[in-house]
Amino acid sequence: QVQLVESGGGLVQPGGSLRLSCVASTSFFSVYIIRWYRQAPGKQRELVAQITGGGSTTYVDSVKGRFTASRDNAKKTAFLQMNSLKVEDTAVYYCNMGGDVYWGQGTQVTVSS
């Protein structure tokens, strides 16, 4: 059973930064696209960023230029660096791989003054 374990969320002031991590338990980590989703209270889950095994990235418009997805295939870990955080970035963030199959437990990101 593949597990994804997330960490790195927390409370930060507007303009601050956080780095989320997602560690996978599978040795096939490098072949998977890793997707980062977020879900704010009362809203649908939103795809924020994705990174292919080779490192190609795409982002939703609202985070372009502020968020950076990366990965270390040797360490089976994906990262989401979030800079210039805004109040509207507040949500539970999830990492995902394998389509709808494997999900992290979610980590709360709260941006507030």
| pLDDT exceeds 90 at position 64 | yes
Burial (Cβ within 10 Å: 0-12, 13-18, ≥19) of residue 41: exposed
Confidence of residue 113 (pLDDT cuts 50, 70, 90): very high
The per-residue pLDDT for range 69-110, each reduced to its tens digit, is 999 999 999 999 999 999 999 999 999 998 888 999 999 999
Tokens encoding 14: 């507007």
Bridge partners, 34 (sequence order) = 51, 97
The per-residue pLDDT for range 23-52, each reduced to its tens digit, is 999 889 999 999 999 999 999 999 999 999
Residue 81: per-residue pLDDT: 98
Question: Where is 60: in which H helix or E strand?
Answer: none
Q: Dmax over Cα atoms in the chain, in whole Å?
A: 41
